[in-house]
Amino acid sequence: MKPMTKFAPIDLAPRLPGTDDAPSSRLDVKMFRVADDPITEAQTDAEIAREFIGNGELSAKSIANSQKELYRFLTWCREEAKKTLSQLNVADLNAYKEFLRNPPPDWISKTKWPRSDPRYRPFTGPLSDPSRRQAMIAVKGLLAFAEQTGYLRRNPAALVRNVRTPVASRITRYLTPEAIALAIETVSKRVPDSPAAAQRRARDRFLLIAFAHTGARLNELVSANMGDIYSEGKNRWWLDVMGKGNKPRRLPVPADMLEAFRAYRETFGLPPVTARADRTPLVLSSRSRAVTRLTDEAASEAIKNGFAEAAGVAARQGEADIAASLRHASAHWLRHSMLTNHANNGVQLKTLQDTAGHANIATTAGYLHKTDNERHDEIIGSILNEDAKKGR
């Protein structure tokens, strides 16, 4: 029988600057530097996990979720794979993905005991595909961060496919133009109580406008640099992004997005105009004095917070439908919304396909639909027109 200490707590609480780490387990065994010029002080797997969690501007709930997923993963590395992060390969990560589908009985407890309790277990049962997908997103985020900071020499997770989940053929997760406008207005009206809060307001406003106008995926926008917004003359502005399969795309940038971009730069002490060679991250963290790229998770959380604020405003205004949609919305809804609204406005599907980066135009066609109210009015209007022609 395996010792019950296999589920001993791992300290994944983000550290405040100047706080010393205390060793607690084999996960804290010091490792050699794998990069000549690392940009992290982390020397153990637990330390790099703490730094990764603390690097994002996450809510308490998101921090707790990240800690849960990374505790599971680091414990699996130690107890099942018996490897450190630097020793993992692609096969190991695919094995962990399958491990999540059906964890062993000694990893499961139907009762959610506190982590300090000897009866605590990481799982209450097998994970669904959506839950496995979220778990692997956290793992892949950690390993990407570890590589980018020089803690790891290479990132095997980059070669691991995401967990596939069923996708509805008809896209229904979208926001009306009125709901999007309310979200932008609500974020714009935030009253900042510090320079960092002013930076977040300008950045979050830019993010909402950018996602709504370009239809970019979350990672595409967060991975871009300032110099990727540029003009080639004739007042045509573009945003370059790297899409799925490392396929580059150029997305049109309208005037209000450009204005939001310049205002956002100024709050971070940057000149409003940049150059193509500017490699400054497009989406900046407001919590670091150094220039730091915001993580995907933190960017997603920022968008959701803006939607939640706007949902409260809509509810107070008596707009129950808008409030309900905003409460459930995420950054990806803005991608759906951009494509849906343009499709309904008559933009050709081939244009939308190229803008969205869809390999198959059938995927783009899934966005061509009307709201139930519009569909109702159009059908009833057609019936009335037919009756009028017949002289009824």
pLDDT at 208: 96
pLDDT digits (tens, 9 = 90+) for 99-109: 999 999 999 99
CB 227 within 8 A of CB 277: yes
pLDDT at 103: 95
CB 303 within 8 A of CB 331: yes
pLDDT at 383: 66
pLDDT at 354: 79
Residues 6+ apart with CB under 8 A from 155: 143, 144, 146, 147
CB 73 within 8 A of CB 81: no
pLDDT at 172: 60
pLDDT at 10: 85
Helices (H), 88-128: 90-101
Amino acid at 302: A
Two tokens, residue 135: 């778990």
DSSP assignment letter at 161: P
pLDDT at 140: 94
Q: CA 309: distance to chain centroid?
A: 19
Q: CB atoms < 10 A from the CB of 167, how many?
A: 8
Q: What are the b/e assignments for 134-161, b being 16+ CB within 10 Å?
A: bbbbbbbbbbbbbbebbbbeebbbeebe
State which residues of the chain have pLDDT below 50: 1-4, 22-26, 29-33, 168-171
How many degrees, rounded to 5, is the angle at CA 275 between CA 274 and CA 280?
A: 70
246: left (phi over 0), alpha (psi -120 to 50) or beta: left
Q: How many helices (H) and strands (E) does the chain have?
A: 14, 3
Residue 92 and residue 87: Cα distance in Å, rounded? 9
Task: Convert 239-298 into a string of H (helix), E (strand) and C (coil).
Answer: EEEECHHHCEEEEEECHHHHHHHHHHHHHCCCCCCCCCCCCCECCECCCCCCCCECCHHH
> What does the DSSP assignment read for 227-239?
GGEEE-STT-EEE
Helices (H), 56-194: 60-76, 90-101, 129-148, 177-188
pLDDT at 25: 45
pLDDT at 58: 75
CB 160 within 8 A of CB 95: no
Q: CA 168: distance to chain centroid?
A: 20
Q: Please name every residue paired with 229 in a beta bridge, in sequence order, or none if there are none.
A: 239
